Amino acid sequence: MSIRRRAATVILVCSLSMAFSSCVVRRRLIVRKGSSAAQPPLQVADESSLLEEISRQYRAVRDFSATVDMVPALGSAEKSKITEYKDVRAYILFRHPADIRIIGLYPVVRNKAFDMTSDGARFRLYIPSHDAFIEGANEMTKPSESKLENLRPQHFVDALLVRPVDQAADRVVLENLTDESGAFYILLALREENGALRLRRAIWFNRVNLELARQLIFDAAGNILTDARYSEWHPYDRVPFPKHVEINRPQDDYGVVIDVVKMEINKGVTDDKFVLQQPPGSKLRILGQPPAAPAGQMPASSDKGKSIPE
């Protein structure tokens, strides 16, 4: 080989080496939500430890009293339209296993916007602006055209407190969904019904810190009933609880964003806090029955067949 050809070969090798080191090889730093640039290694867990963590957190909350800011919204991502409303100051009272009361106040003036309670089986809802008092079962056999009649306090219980998986009835599958945009463990709870497996819930854990990040609850057809997302976990009275919760009910076309302002856990909530009586003069609506007369008044023919406005 001539000196000229050997020199050309050396130049070619050097050029390729420089190209591969500076152009072809490229390192990308993956920084996931909830972590810093110098993030520690992702946490590792198995199915049994994640199931136990759900049970531990659920057992830790016997009751709570919370002051929150709520941003209600109508519509859903499925229908490509969501309308948000001004924030509402609300008070949420809970007592294990299913007692809940939520009182909402309008912005600025702080007049009562709604008051609702449930014992886990039935609910009551009072809307002063409509003089409406609604009662009914928590379980809906058929959704109403009125979004107010689809509102259930139990939806908040199901979203705010992630119930343990019924391992005697459900099959559990663990999925590791880790990519450039996120790192999650997902517990899939399935149940056999009529010879087929049905997905009932999907519970997400953030692998950065193994905190609960999301819960999806499905109906029999696989549609999302509740999509709840959790962030900014904080110890209240030494019990962890998310400061920020996003709840969406796509089948009912409503959602709400909750930010905790004040929280007291396991301080006790008395029976009277969950009692909601029908105010005099309000119109009683028992779901599944015709509208009743206002409290303390005789039925008026003009009210027959009318439903509660949205």
**Total-model pTM:** 0.79
pLDDT in tens, 68-86: 999 887 755 555 555 555 6
- The residue whose two tokens read 């992702």 is 42
| Token pair recorded at residue 81 | 């339209």
Domain boundaries, the chain: 47-166+234-303
- The CATH number assigned to the domain with range 47-166+234-303 reads 2.50.20.10
Distance CA 12, CA 22 (A): 15
Sorted by sequence, the CB contacts under 8 Å of residue 220 that are 6+ apart come out as 193, 198
At 219-249, the pLDDT tens digits run: 999 999 999 999 999 999 999 999 999 999 9
Token pair listed for 175: 């999925």
Q: Which two tokens stand for residue 149?
A: 């009649």
Q: Are strands 88-95 and 239-249 parallel, antiparallel or unpaired?
A: unpaired
Q: What confidence tens digit (pLDDT) does each residue in 31-57 have?
A: 666 555 556 789 999 999 999 999 999
Which residues make Cβ contacts (< 8 Å) with residue 218, sequence separation at least 6?
198, 199, 200, 201, 202, 224, 225
* C-alpha R_g of the chain: 27
Neighbouring C-beta atoms of residue 178, cutoff 10 Å: 14
